[in-house]
Amino acid sequence: MSRVAVVTGASRGIGAATVCGLAAAGWQVVAVDRAGDDPRIPYALGTRAELDAVVGRADSLGDRTGSVLAHVADTTDAQGMAVAVALAEDRFGGLDAMVAVAGVIAGGTPLWEMPDEQLDAVLDVDLVGPIVAARAGVPALLRRPAPRQGRFLAVASAAATKGLPMLAAYGAAKAGVAGLVRGLAADLAGTGVTANAVCPGSTDTAMLTESARLYGLEGTASFADQQAVGRLLAPEEVAAALVWLAGEASSAMTGAVVPVDGGLGL
């Protein structure tokens, strides 16, 4: 029986790579994205065309046509996320992994100078979003009959443990994600459902391009110098960790916050 996942932030970056990685591993996936800009955020977010392209690419990697479905929803909206979970259960028969990837970045100023709307957006998308995903997804994970191997996964950041200048709100939200999975792991003890997070370093995504702009840099290349591997990470490298954590081999891990950061946190 194929395992089933819901993945947020699916139109590009780590989310898109995770959708494709899961599909290639034989999963059925509901790929969720806002598929439109957030007026509070000063850079372009993923589009419906990008989401559809990811779904098409991922579907071609799966065992059969129709194994990946697109769903447009604001990941901070409880009703929209409930519909995504219902889609997984109705079309694919259940849910085995809820993967909260969606994120935004904003800042570039000290916290006390950050515009209110940007502060709200960072806290909403980066922390409230994973909380909403957990509240929508965990009950479905628990609806699988025992013995079950459900997975709640979230993307935090190296900023969860490393202070980054002019990104205090982003770091606070990502630290909150780390706390979220630890608390969920305690709540889920003995159920067969685990909760873990990954902390990416500087990854070649649109968010990193925005980070460079916030710091007044001409491009993202200089971020590579901060990482022991001497390069930016590819989204697929972070996704590979998420795909592994979603699988049965990670059954001994829960409440873990795993650095996939190229040594940024050293």
CATH of the domain at 159: 3.40.50.720
Given a cut of 80, is residue 248 above it in pLDDT? yes
What's the total number of domains in the chain? Answer: 1
Q: Which residues are catalytic?
A: 170
Kindly calculate the radius of gyration of the chain based on its CA atoms and give it in whole angstroms: 17
Does the N-terminal peptide bond of residue 145 adopt cis geometry, omega within 30 degrees of 0? no
Report residue 7 as tokens.
């993945």
Residue 131 belongs to a domain:
yes
| Mean pLDDT of the 119-147 span | 98
Q: What is the pLDDT of residues 137-153, one digit of tens each?
A: 999 999 999 999 999 99
- pLDDT above 80: residue 1: no
- Residue 266 included in any domain: no
Q: Is the pTM of this model over 0.85?
A: yes
Is 195 within a domain?
yes
Burial label for 82, CB within 10 Å (0-12, 13-18, 19+), is middle
If we measure between CA atoms, which residue out of 191, 176, 4 comes closest to residue 86?
4
* pLDDT tens per residue across span 44-64: 999 999 999 999 999 999 877
157, 117 in Cβ contact below 8 A?
no
Range of the domain at 89: 4-260
How large a percentage of the chain has pLDDT more than 70?
A: 100
Residues near 54 by beta carbon (within 8 Å), at least 6 away in sequence: 10, 11, 12, 16, 19, 20, 31
| Cα-Cα end-to-end distance for the chain | 41
pLDDT reported for residue 83: 98
Confidence band for 266, pLDDT divided at 50, 70 and 90: confident
- Is 168 inside any structural domain? yes
